[in-house]
Amino acid sequence: MAYQSINPFDGKVLKSFPSITDAELEQALAHASTCFETWRHKSYAERAKIIHKAAEILRSKVDVFAHAMTLDMGKRITEARGEVSFSADILDYYAKHAEKFLAPVKLNPKVGGAHMESSPMGVIFCVEPWNFPYYQLARVAGPHLMAGNVMLVKHAANVPHCAILFEELLTDAGAPAGLYTNLFISHVQSNRLIDDPRIKGVALTGSVDAGKTIAARAGQNVKISSMELGGSDAFIVLEDADLEHAIKWAVWGRMYNTGQTCCASKRFIVVEAIADQFLDKFQAALAALKAGDPLDEKTTLGPLSSEGALIGLLSQVDGAIAHGATVVMGGKRLNRKGAFMQPTILTDVKPDNPAFRDEFFGPVAMFFRVKDEAAAIALANNSDFGLGGSVFTKDEARGLRVASAVDTGMMFINNINWSDAELPFGGIKNSGYGRELGDMGIQAFVNKKLVRTASMSAPV
């Protein structure tokens, strides 16, 4: 498997990294297992000192980390800096709250006393994607390391610089050898790791296909897993919405990270009464975006992460058109160097069109007109995915009603702001299972042990 940094802005190969050998993989796993036997007995304060320090380093070197991200996968530099800062917030959050989250919970049986206590499980194998090269790592490293687990991480092949920098970050923060190890490994080696009895759990963020493969492998080995997969989030606009407010969120929701976000807004479902107005304003706002160097702060449209990602997305759009979709705008690559695609809006996407069930991982929006609120909810729920979604209305009670009726892991009313370490993140259906961040994000990969004390006679 080729771990290679290729700048998607100009297609230049920056550096390649070979996969490690089987002997090197065994050494990494052995070091992680040895580290766990010490790390599991560290106090929360001792763990927190290292994790807080890592957050401090991220903030002090935000431009270094952000620059590497932009070169690896094309994220606009302002967004990259924001991701670095949010990653630091996540690390600080778990360093501060882990002890409280994992404190023993007193139970009240009829006889005697009892409590639930939490203890670490061991070496956790994490497989992470390229679209948020540090955030994805921070949201597993923060809870797992503070819980007393240790980590082996296979990052995406196109963000090797980011993978190395995050490992170095923890080393510089004082992490012991084996606590957090980046692995440049093949799929075959990845499977071998999941099979190894020293691995106690598997966490993946990635595609549905990757989730099926890795979850099945973990299941065969009776190992706990969490799967954060794709999404095709609905963006519902009711007739009483603040249209200007909704348009601003529509552009951000579809175009943040050049649309390469699992919980991006992808299906725009607008009540007929304001559908024309919304579509006109949405199209104008997208047309105003300016493509350019993602290292330039004035750029408002960055490249996709790779030439391969662009080619795949163009193929999806062509397939949607072949099955009856109408292109309102865009649909092609931009006539310039780099992996740039025109912002695109598709309409007339019928349920028999493969695009209706697809996830477009890039600047492609599907637009749907509906009669009313009930029709909007029905269409939002007619999806194989269930990650997030949003609804825009001036009536908060109405927004809450719609949010409760949409089958997803997350719903947002008059916003799409999931960037808070305290908010659990995850979905249902083909969007996966388990939750990351918040209190829930530290609970899944720990042993929840019942301890009971009681003076009672054995049953006869």
DSSP structure string for 61-86: THHHHHHHHHHHH---HHHHHHHHHH
Q: What is the mean pLDDT of residues 291-309?
A: 98
381 pLDDT above the threshold of 70: yes
Q: 113 has which bridge partners?
A: 453
Q: Which two tokens stand for residue 426?
A: 């995850």
Share of the chain above pLDDT 90, in %: 98
Q: What is the mean pLDDT of residues 381-396?
A: 98
Secondary structure (3-state) at 176: coil
119 pLDDT above the threshold of 70: yes
In whole numbers, what is the pLDDT of the chain averaged over residues?
97
422 pLDDT above the threshold of 90: yes
Q: What is the mean pLDDT of residues 153-158?
A: 98
295 pLDDT above the threshold of 80: yes
The DSSP annotation for 379-432 comes to HHHSSSEES-EEEE-S-HHHHHHHHHHS-SS--EES------TTS-B--EETTE
61 pLDDT above the threshold of 70: yes
Question: Distances from the Cα of 107 to the Cαs of 32, 113, 447, 454, in angstroms?
Answer: 34, 7, 17, 13
How do residues 73-104 score in pLDDT, each as one tens digit? 999 999 999 999 999 999 999 999 999 999 99
Q: What is the pLDDT of residue 397?
A: 98
Question: Distances from the Cα of 230 to the Cαs of 249, 323, 387, 430, in angstroms?
Answer: 20, 23, 7, 7
CA-nearest of 210, 165, 163 to 19 is 163
Convert 101-162 into a string of H (helix), E (strand) and C (coil). HCCCEEECCCCCEEEEEEEECCEEEEECCCCCCCHHHHHHHHHHHHHCCEEEEECCCCCHHH
Q: What is the mean pLDDT of residues 251-258?
A: 98
CA-nearest of 58, 61, 60, 143 to 102 is 143
Residue with tokens 């620059």: 67
Secondary structure (3-state) at 204: strand
CA 127 from centre of chain: 11
Q: What is the mean pLDDT of residues 268-285?
A: 98
Q: What is the mean pLDDT of residues 230-249?
A: 98
Which domains, from first to last, does the chain contain? 3-229+431-451 (3.40.605.10), 233-413 (3.40.309.10)
CA pair distance 60, 96, nearest whole angstrom: 19
Residue 231 C-beta-side C-alpha neighbours within 13 Å = 32
Burial of 440 per CB tally in 10 Å (0-12, 13-18, 19+): middle
Q: What is the pLDDT of residue 77?
A: 98
CA pair distance 78, 179, nearest whole angstrom: 31
How do residues 158-213 score in pLDDT, each as one tens digit? 999 999 999 999 999 999 999 999 999 999 999 999 999 999 999 999 999 999 99
Q: What is the pLDDT of residue 1?
A: 66
CA-nearest of 385, 425, 344, 413 to 132 is 425
Which residues are marked as active site?
A: 228, 262
How much is the pTM? 0.97
Q: What is the pLDDT of residue 324?
A: 98
CA-nearest of 346, 410, 357, 409 to 379 is 357
Q: What is the pLDDT of residue 2?
A: 86
CA pair distance 84, 134, nearest whole angstrom: 7
Confidence of residue 419 (pLDDT cuts 50, 70, 90): confident
